[in-house]
Structure 1
Amino acid sequence: MIDGQVFKQIGDLKRGGLVCVADHASSFVPEDLPLGIPADQAETHIGVDIGVAGVAARMARRHGIPAHMALISRLVVDLHREEDHPKVVPTESDGHLIPGNIGADVEARLDRYHRPYHEALAKWLDEAAPELIISLHSFTPQLETSTEERPWEVGLLYNEDDRAARHAIRLFGELGLNVGDNEPYSGKELNATMNRHAEAHGRPYCAVEVRQDLISNRADQARWAAMIADVCGRVALALD
């Protein structure tokens, strides 16, 4: 986290273009909020969307898609949950207890992190008037609490508005990828940021989930950044 900020915005914002939002791009846990877990646990999928920061940064710097990125771990407060969601400050994740969050002052967490993040995002999107929002996440190939492997390489999530997702599913499929349609989980349940900042304003969006083992190094992050930029650029054209 930089100078107490809970987000950073990178790239040149051009009105009417594509933008990227990454709610789970950071594993940072402030020293004054001990979570009672091993230090390296925040670096796993329960604390951060592995690979997303690298992909989003490359999209901003190499493909002209500016990004609004979180600088706080989802274990501190989940920016991709509604304020009143019971897991907005998680007490467990994928079978791991988060002792420091039991009895936490949720209102204080919301006021310190969640609200500033979303207020800044709302202002940024109003300024951008984006043609398309890319909500970028990653998912683990298999949950620790499950024996079921997730075969999808990329998933497109959506709630009520599937305009962009339908085009993206087709275009990723044409690249030979195994594409999940509202997989590995449904945007009907997990779509908080896009519900608030996209669907509520009639803004088209692609909520893109990449399997984390495919973006775990810089070369793969660069490849996926180019692929997502290309596919989403064509989605935006198809929506015109």
Structure 2
Amino acid sequence: MRIVDDFSEGPAFEILEPTAPAVPFVFNAPHSGTTYPRDLLQRTKLDRLTLRRSEDTFVDELFDGVVRKGAPLMRAHFPRVYLDLNREDNELDPAMFSGPLKAPVNADSARVAGGLGVIARIVGERQDIYASLLPPAEAERRLDTYYRPYHRALASRIDATVNAFGTCVLVDCHSMPSGAVKFLDEKATARPDIILGDRFGTSCSPLLTDELSRLLRRRGFVVGRNRPYAGGFITEKYGTPPRVHAIQMEINRALYMNEATFARSDGFIDLQEALDEVCAELIQWFAAVHLDTGWSMAAE
């Protein structure tokens, strides 16, 4: 956890660009940020470990091998508890603010009702984040300074990939608490390791989801699909197959970290290497089924 006054000394987000020949994939880690603005810490009534419970800690590092394979990796440095990039910009709870908000809001959103709008009200076990109401201008400041530039950059990188290859696969990378899902079904004997979300086949070709699931299962992972994580705002917004195939990956945190101390566990390297192999094979598979686009792995 790093604490800053603002992001004047370093970027609020970045895109790690590949030096290898490009491939039609974009990886995104919108919740892996661990740099906390000081104003958030001054406004919260929670201790720092509790505040961090919504982080997808280390997820950007788990996937950073894709950059060497030709795919950009976008990642936020600010934390999800400060601003959730996987929400619409109007998913705001007016009750969190001391006055009327500038723009119309979607206060009826199920995510807002649950306390998890674009500016979250709760974290962890439904613990209120803020000690007092926020000024209305704070919502617009966070959206203008961080949210909208991030989505403009992500949309631009996706468009550039589509222009180059005729298509793009957006892999939205997340993690889930180990206790979030008990079992996949009544007959299951193990908790899921990874859940793939493709909005029930609407944000991504089911063939791609099938192949990613197969590659993961072949390495011994217990893989779920769409329940309880079907994909959030990002997969819904950007997933427009066949132009853009957007798929969400939720990884069980117990595979790679101590959830109480936020430290890497002994399983981190093994998981990182396994995901690196899976991503490489998925890229090769996608090349084989999209030869009609004129793109081939042979170009590498």
CA shift for structure 1 position 23: 0.5
Output aligned runs, 1:154-193, within 5 Å. Answer: 154-159=194-199, 160-163=202-205, 164-183=208-227, 185-187=228-230, 190-193=231-234
* Partners of 2:9 and 2:29 in 1: CA distance: 19
Question: What secondary structure, in the 3-state scheme, does the structure 1 residue paired with 2:78 have?
Answer: coil
Looking at both structures, which has the greater relative contact order when contacts are Cα pairs under 8 Å and sequence separation is at least 6?
A: 1
Q: Please state if 1:106 is matched with 2:139.
A: yes
* Partners of 2:146 and 2:234 in 1: CA distance: 14
Question: What secondary structure, in the 3-state scheme, does the structure 2 residue paired with 1:29 have?
Answer: strand
Q: Which residue of 2 aligns with 1:195?
A: 236
Distance change in 2, residues 1:97/1:115 (3 Å): same
Pair member with larger Rg: 2
How many residues are aligned here? 230
Which residue identity is paired with 2:67?
A
Normalization by structure 2: what TM-score? 0.67
Q: Which residue of 2 aligns with 1:138?
A: 175
Which residue identity is paired with 1:124?
R
In structure 2, which of residues 16, 22, 33 is the aligned counterpart of residue 26 of structure 1?
Answer: 33
Moved over 4 A (4+): none
Question: What secondary structure, in the 3-state scheme, does the structure 1 residue paired with 2:35 have?
Answer: coil
For 1:94-125, what per-residue CA distance to the aligned partner results, in whole angstroms no more than 9, with x for missing partners? Answer: 32211158445322221121101111111222
Q: Which residue of 1 aligns with 2:277?
A: 230
Q: Please state if 1:90 is matched with 2:120.
A: yes
Q: Sequence identity, in percent?
A: 20
Distance change in 2, residues 1:221/1:64 (3 Å): farther
For 1:5-29, what per-residue CA distance to the aligned partner results, in whole angstroms no more than 9, with x for missing partners? Answer: 3211214165443331000011222
For 1:62-107, what per-residue CA distance to the aligned partner results, in whole angstroms no more than 9, with x for missing partners? Answer: x443310011111111011111223110111232211158445322
For 1:154-193, what per-residue CA distance to the aligned partner results, in whole angstroms no more than 9, with x for missing partners? Answer: 110111134222221222122222101113x232xx4211
Distance change in 2, residues 1:90/1:162 (3 Å): same
Distance change in 2, residues 1:191/1:137 (3 Å): same
Gaps of 5+ in 2: 1-6, 92-111, 184-190, 258-263, 291-300
Normalization by structure 1: what TM-score? 0.82
Give the RMSD, CA atoms, in angstroms: 2.6
CA shift for structure 1 position 195: 2.1
Gaps of 5+ in 1: none
Q: Which residue of 2 aligns with 1:214?
A: 255
Is contact 1:24-1:79 (8 Å) kept?
A: yes
